[in-house]
Amino acid sequence: MSTGYADGVSDTSTPDALLAGVIAAEADPPGIDKERWTKLLASHDALHPTGTDTAHITLDGHTVGRMSWSKTANEIDVWGEIDAVADTAWNVAAELDCRFVTMTELLSC
């Protein structure tokens, strides 16, 4: 699967072009600490950094999505099919003492 996120925008033909949700802190502001995110990015088994604040989500050797630092808030955008990325998103959220909010939840507010 071709990705190439140099400009921070995904190719809409790839599965990770779908916004699955966001990882957000309970208290916003201040939101997620970006330094904690970048440290986790470098150490998490399912995340493979593609830049200083973006990573592919990889399962069984296949890229299924990506996570990236939001351009609009101190949170992490999660991209990909929800069934493929949710477990990793919930795991990352827990490690950051945050929560993963799916697009379904966001749109129902």
For residue 52, count CB atoms less than 10 angstroms from its CB and return exposed for 0-12, middle for 13-18, buried for 19 or more.
exposed
Residue 34 falls within a domain, yes or no?
yes
Strands in the chain per DSSP E:
19-24, 47-49, 54-59, 62-69, 76-80, 99-102
Residue 56 falls within a domain, yes or no?
yes
Residue 37 falls within a domain, yes or no?
yes
Q: Is 24 helix (H, G, I), strand (E, B) or coil?
A: strand
Residue 75 falls within a domain, yes or no?
yes
Mean pLDDT per block of 10 residues along the chain (109 residues) reads: 37 65 86 92 94 94 95 93 96 96 87
What per-residue confidence (pLDDT) applies to 53? Answer: 93
What per-residue confidence (pLDDT) applies to 17? Answer: 75
How many helices (DSSP H) and strands (DSSP E) are in the chain? 3, 6
What per-residue confidence (pLDDT) applies to 15? Answer: 54
**Full domain range(s) for residue 43:** 15-107
What per-residue confidence (pLDDT) applies to 11? Answer: 46
What per-residue confidence (pLDDT) applies to 108? Answer: 85
What per-residue confidence (pLDDT) applies to 28? Answer: 72
What per-residue confidence (pLDDT) applies to 95? Answer: 95
Is residue 23 within 8 A of residue 30, CB to CB? The reply is no
Token pair 């970006």 is found at 34
Residue 70 falls within a domain, yes or no?
yes
Please give the tally of structural domains in the chain: 1
Residue 98 falls within a domain, yes or no?
yes
Residue 79 falls within a domain, yes or no?
yes
Residue 4 falls within a domain, yes or no?
no
What per-residue confidence (pLDDT) applies to 88? Answer: 97
